[in-house]
């Protein structure tokens, strides 16, 4: 299992239990912050600016400042509230800091720039956009061009959703406590947190018991596929059927088919919907281009890449009228992508059939497709991506990946995973078709639906990361390159299993 992720509701419950058993949590958090700040500042004589707000986050900052002063760092504490901290530990730390001659200022200190800024301005309890004074201070911190260490969460970032609440600190590193929070890893979180480091403050057992979510990283999923036996044949790895590729969109279906072959499906049947569809894929002649009815006879189905939708309810296509309903009614593992999702979104009968379905079904929506399925606005989906993914999984009986920065995989039982791989190179046409094909291939190789989805999402992002590390993107990275890199990584991961 990956690193646990707690919703803020679950985190508050864990914090409440810990506070009764371990009353010195703030002191431990402040000391951990000071130790991280020392490593980042390196020079013991370096000037460190600690920004302390009025809440518990500011309390951690006061404790950190006291510890830094004890190790002879030049500390300046910017006291934003101008009043005594609320927590007793923080008040004690403030008194000790002042008694030792620690410098406290009420405005941004002029003069030479600090070597490091410690952000203890706002914490995880932020519920609204920051006010003008706080926004100006955040802008000043970001404009300083020095490393920033954020305590628990960058100030101005919603720890639950990853939304920027007006303005948010762009941290070099975020030291988060007890457990990972969803907002650190999705939407705007990855652009503002920098490197995220967890200090569980001794609460690992309590967190593991309470967590319904986890982070996805290559080390977590790499062992899920065992090396292939020498005594095996293509039938052991399943037959995948893909239906899609209407006129002008054949490439989407070809990308899905090629990626599924590269990701290890034993055989791939591609049923193209376009009347003028090619009879063979000359680059990948191993793909069997068959009539759609033949593709529907496969062991696992991927429906929708490039399928298109009819412009009106009076001109329903074959895909919408018969093929997709037949796939949903089947007892086969099913992947719904692209226009299959759009068809479901506007068809109450299909929605009801999905809910009743016994065989596993996986959906791969981007935010706009998720919004149609939920009958919300896209902005509402992005405002709380975790809630949207869980709602989709629960209401439609699907294993879902809500694609985007920090893609979220969610299952009908309420469990979820947030992916940590990937980069902007994935923001190009066809990468979603590749993902759908990889998911289908993994189902053919007998991974259960939650694992097939999580493995594929993590692999897909990791492929983009390794390509960028070799100088192939992110600008101009193509879906075809992603598919080839997925194959390379799968073989590396499987060899180590």
pTM confidence score: 0.95
Checking if the pLDDT of 21 tops 70, the result is no
Q: How confident is the model at residue 315 (pLDDT cuts 50, 70, 90)?
A: low
H helical segments located in 445-478: 449-469
Checking if the pLDDT of 313 tops 70, the result is no
- Helix, strand, coil shares of the chain, percent, nearest 5, are 45, 15, 40
pLDDT computed for residue 290 by the predictor: 95
* Structural contact between residues 62 and 97, judged by C-beta atoms closer than 8 angstroms: yes
Which range (96-100, 295-299, 337-341) has the least confidence?
96-100
Checking if the pLDDT of 250 tops 90, the result is yes
Give the number of C-alpha atoms closer than 13 A to the C-alpha of residue 289, restricted to the C-beta side.
Answer: 18
216 found inside a domain: no
Rounded mean pLDDT of the chain? 94
Same domain, 392 and 353: yes
Each residue of 92-143: pLDDT tens digit? Answer: 888 888 998 899 999 999 877 899 999 999 999 898 999 999 999 999 999 9
Q: How many of the other CB atoms lie within 10 Å of CB of 231?
A: 6
If one counts the domains in the chain, the total is 2
Strand order, beta sheet including 103-105? 103-105, 74-79, 47-52, 116-120, 148-151, 173-177, 195-199
pLDDT computed for residue 139 by the predictor: 97
Q: In this structure, what are the phi and psi dihedrals at residue 384, rounded to the nearest 5 degrees?
A: -150, 85
User: What DSSP character marks residue 227?
Assistant: P
260 found inside a domain: yes
Alpha carbon 252 to chain centroid distance? 24
pLDDT computed for residue 477 by the predictor: 98
Chosen domain end from 176, 211, 246: 211
The C-alpha atoms of residue 261 and residue 93 are separated, in whole angstroms, by 61
The C-alpha atoms of residue 182 and residue 384 are separated, in whole angstroms, by 10
Give the chain's length: 497
The C-alpha atoms of residue 338 and residue 252 are separated, in whole angstroms, by 10
Chosen domain end from 189, 211, 233: 211
The CATH number covering residue 47 comes to 3.40.50.10260
pLDDT computed for residue 44 by the predictor: 61
Each residue of 34-93: pLDDT tens digit? Answer: 999 999 997 666 799 999 998 889 999 999 999 999 887 789 999 998 888 777 888 888
User: What DSSP character marks residue 334?
Assistant: E
Same domain, 55 and 190: yes
Chosen domain end from 153, 180, 211: 211
Q: How far is CA 141 from CA 49, 54, 155, 267, 377, in A?
A: 10, 18, 11, 56, 34
Same domain, 225 and 205: no
| Structure token digits, residue 319 | 């895909």
Which range (102-116, 344-358, 462-476) has the least confidence?
102-116
Q: In this structure, what are the phi and psi dihedrals at residue 4, rounded to the nearest 5 degrees?
A: -65, 145
Same domain, 248 and 196: no
> What is the C-alpha R_g of the chain?
26
Same domain, 314 and 463: yes
The conformational region for residue 233 under phi > 0 = left, psi -120 to 50 = alpha, else beta, is beta
Same domain, 207 and 264: no
Q: Is 20 exposed, middle or buried (0-12, 13-18, 19+ CB in 10 A)?
A: exposed
The CATH number covering residue 444 comes to 3.40.1190.20
Same domain, 234 and 205: no
487 found inside a domain: yes
Same domain, 458 and 334: yes
Checking if the pLDDT of 387 tops 80, the result is yes
377 found inside a domain: yes
Q: Is 82 exposed, middle or buried (0-12, 13-18, 19+ CB in 10 A)?
A: exposed
Which range (19-23, 242-246, 317-321) has the least confidence?
19-23
332 found inside a domain: yes
Same domain, 33 and 83: yes
Same domain, 9 and 97: yes
Domain coverage including residue 24: 4-211
The C-alpha atoms of residue 377 and residue 459 are separated, in whole angstroms, by 30
pLDDT computed for residue 495 by the predictor: 77
Same domain, 324 and 226: yes
Helix (H) or strand (E) holding 47: strand 47-52
Same domain, 245 and 165: no
Which range (7-21, 345-359, 396-410) has the least confidence?
7-21
Q: Residue 364: which of 382, 394, 339, 331 has the closest Cα?
A: 339
SS3 203: coil
Residue 474 preceded by cis peptide, ω within 30:
yes
Query: Could you tell me which residue, 426 or 19, shows the higher pLDDT?
Result: 426
Compute the average pLDDT of residues 237-243: 97
* Structural contact between residues 468 and 425, judged by C-beta atoms closer than 8 angstroms: yes
pLDDT computed for residue 314 by the predictor: 46
The C-alpha atoms of residue 358 and residue 404 are separated, in whole angstroms, by 28
User: What DSSP character marks residue 323?
Assistant: I
Query: Could you tell me which residue, 27 or 314, shows the higher pLDDT?
Result: 27
Checking if the pLDDT of 311 tops 60, the result is no
Cβ neighbours of residue 161 under 8 Å, at least 6 residues apart? 182, 183, 186, 187, 383, 384, 385, 386, 387
Q: Residue 485: which of 468, 470, 463 has the closest Cα?
A: 463
């Amino acid at each position: 299992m990956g690193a646990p992720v707690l919703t803020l509701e679950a985190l508050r419950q864990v914090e409440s239990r810990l506070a009764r058993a371990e009353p010195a949590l703030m002191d431990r958090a402040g000391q951990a912050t000071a130790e991280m700040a020392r490593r980042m500042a390196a020079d013991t004589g370096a000037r460190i600016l600690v920004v302390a707000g009025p809440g518990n986050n500011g309390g951690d900052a006061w404790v950190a400042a006291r510890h830094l002063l004890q190790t002879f760092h030049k500390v300046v504490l910017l006291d934003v509230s101008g009043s005594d901290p609320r927590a007793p530990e923080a008040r004690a730390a403030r008194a000790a800091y002042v008694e030792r001659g620690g410098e406290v200022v009420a405005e941004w200190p002029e003069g030479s720039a600090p070597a490091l800024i410690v952000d203890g301005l706002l914490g995880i309890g932020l519920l609204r956009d920051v006010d003008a004074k706080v926004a100006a201070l955040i802008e000043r911190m970001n404009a300083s061009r020095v490393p920033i260490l954020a305590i628990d969460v960058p100030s101005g970032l919603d720890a639950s959703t990853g939304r920027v609440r007006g303005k948010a600190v762009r941290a070099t590193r975020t030291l988060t406590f007890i457990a990972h929070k969803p907002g650190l890893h999705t939407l705007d979180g990855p652009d503002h947190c920098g490197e995220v480091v967890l200090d569980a403050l001794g609460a690992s057992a309590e967190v593991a018991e309470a967590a319904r979510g986890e982070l996805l990283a290559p080390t977590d999923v790499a062992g899920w596929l065992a090396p292939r036996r020498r005594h095996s044949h293509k039938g052991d790895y399943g037959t995948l059927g893909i239906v899609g590729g209407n006129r002008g969109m054949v490439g989407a279906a070809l990308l899905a088919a090629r990626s599924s072959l590269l990701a290890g499906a034993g055989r791939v049947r591609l049923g193209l919907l376009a009347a003028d569809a090619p009879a063979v894929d000359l680059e990948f002649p191993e793909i069997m281009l068959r009539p759609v009815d033949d593709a529907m006879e496969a062991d696992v189905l991927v429906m929708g890449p490039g399928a298109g939708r009819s412009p009106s309810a009076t001109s329903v296509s074959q895909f919408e009228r018969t093929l997709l309903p037949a796939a949903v009614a089947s007892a086969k593992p099913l992947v719904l992508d692209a226009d299959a999702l759009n068809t479901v979104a506007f068809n109450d009968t299909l929605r009801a059939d999905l809910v009743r379905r016994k065989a596993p079904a996986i959906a791969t929506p981007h935010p706009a497709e998720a919004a149609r399925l939920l009958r919300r606005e896209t902005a509402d989906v992005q405002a709380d991506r975790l809630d949207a993914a869980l709602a989709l999984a629960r209401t439609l009986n699907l294993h879902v990946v809500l694609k985007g920065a920090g893609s979220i995989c969610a299952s009908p039982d309420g469990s979820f995973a947030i992916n940590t791989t990937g980069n902007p190179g994935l923001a190009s046409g066809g990468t979603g078709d590749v993902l759908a094909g990889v998911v289908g291939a993994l189902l053919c190789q007998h991974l259960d639906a939650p694992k097939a989805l999580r493995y594929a999402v993590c692999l897909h992002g990791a492929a983009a990361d390794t390509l960028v590390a070799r100088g192939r993107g992110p600008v101009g990275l193509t879906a075809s390159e992603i598919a080839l890199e997925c194959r390379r990584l799968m073989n590396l991961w499987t060899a180590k299993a």
